[in-house]
Amino acid sequence: MSLTLIYKGKHVRFSAQMPKAQWLPLAAVFLIATVWLIRTVVVDYGDTEQVREQLLTAQQEYSDEKQQLIALKRQAEHQLSALTLKLGEIKGQVNRLDAVASRVAAQANIPAEEFNLEMDSSMGGPNAEQAGDVITDVNTLLEDMEQMLRKLDGQERRMAVLESILMNTHIEEEIFVSGRPIKSGWLSSYYGVRKDPFTSMPAMHKGLDFAGDEGADVVATGAGVVTWADSRFGYGNLVEIDHGDGIITRYGHNKSIEVDVGDLVAKGQTIGKMGSTGRSTGPHVHYEVLKRGKQIDPLPYVYRKVN
């Protein structure tokens, strides 16, 4: 068996015969080269696909990390904004408390040089009225908080001074708790164990009840500072007055409240209107006297003689 090669050109014709011993090795070499070339192309293509898959995976991971970082940044900004606004609310509340304390000092005729609430009051940063001005720098927020803590510490000391001065000024005589908490009406229930009007079972009554017409004046039995002026469970609309020296009076079931927390009230001043709010069976004022935090019988104070 031989291999015949024929070439025909335009003006040339060539033919040759190669015996098997000569062309067979050549064919084998050609076949090997072809197989190697195909294998190389296939392997290279496979490597390229693998690299491409790895690249796509990496891109997806980068995208996921980016989204997580964006979400974390938004959360941090939201929390920072919330802290900033909360600080602004606290500043607004402190300013209102400053105003209350200043009013108390003025009503008590305490000399300005003895009680100066304006010291160290220069502060920066947002307040409740400037909610749009949100601090975006953590260090600024922390510094603002530190300034507020210093101010509160100073104001706390001044409030203690105010209380000390207040309890030793000319209003000391008016602080003396005595008399009835009403201008018109009658004593309808005493301090002590009685039949509960709702359960008909024996129960301790820790105050006196003064009945009267709905809307009648409820008055303070001594001068002091209003420490509660809102509803409270069982009491309905309640006014609580601190008279100093551990004495507090309470006036419950009011139809309406005529004073605010922080007000300095005078003896005999109208603080509410008689009603039947809370746990009540009809228009009356539930009157309590507390000494060092414990309810005591108010009756001796009702008939107490003013010096």
Domain boundaries, the chain: 2-64, 76-174, 179-302
224 in Cβ contact with 242 (< 8 Å):
yes
Residue 274 pLDDT exceeds 80? yes
The more confident residue out of 33 and 41 is 33
pLDDT of residue 38: 62
pLDDT of residue 27: 65
% of the chain beyond a pLDDT of 70? 64
pLDDT of residue 79: 79
pLDDT of residue 30: 66
By mean pLDDT, which of 123-127, 231-235, 276-280, 300-304 is the weakest? 123-127
pTM: 0.47
Name the amino acid, one letter, at 177.
Answer: V
What pLDDT band is residue 200 in, cutting at 50, 70 and 90? confident
**DSSP letters spanning 24-92:** HHHHHHHHHHHHHHHHHHHHHHHHHHHHHHHHHHHHHHHHHHHHHHHHHHHHHHHHHHHHHHHHHHHHH
Question: Reduced to 3 states, what is the DSSP secondary structure of residue 129?
Answer: helix
254 in Cβ contact with 272 (< 8 Å):
yes
pLDDT of residue 83: 79
C-alpha atoms less than 13 angstroms from C-alpha of 268 in its C-beta half-sphere: 2
- For residue range 125-166, list pLDDT tens digits in order: 334 344 445 555 677 777 877 877 777 777 776 676 666 665
Q: If you average pLDDT over every residue of the chain, what do you get?
A: 76
Residues 269 and 272: their CA atoms lie apart, in Å, by 9
What pLDDT band is residue 23 in, cutting at 50, 70 and 90? low
Residues 225 and 105: their CA atoms lie apart, in Å, by 11
Q: What is the mean pLDDT of residues 23-34?
A: 66
Residues 134 and 66: their CA atoms lie apart, in Å, by 25
Q: What is the mean pLDDT of residues 202-221?
A: 93
For domain 179-302, give the fold. Glucose Permease (Domain IIA) (2.70.70)
222 in Cβ contact with 176 (< 8 Å):
yes
Q: What is the mean pLDDT of residues 235-250?
A: 93
pLDDT of residue 43: 53
Secondary-structure percent of the chain, ordered helix, strand, coil, rounded to 5: 45, 25, 30
**Structure tokens belonging to residue 224:** 């002091």
Question: Reduced to 3 states, what is the DSSP secondary structure of residue 187?
Answer: strand
Residues 147 and 136: their CA atoms lie apart, in Å, by 17
- For residue range 286-300, list pLDDT tens digits in order: 999 999 889 999 999
pLDDT of residue 160: 67
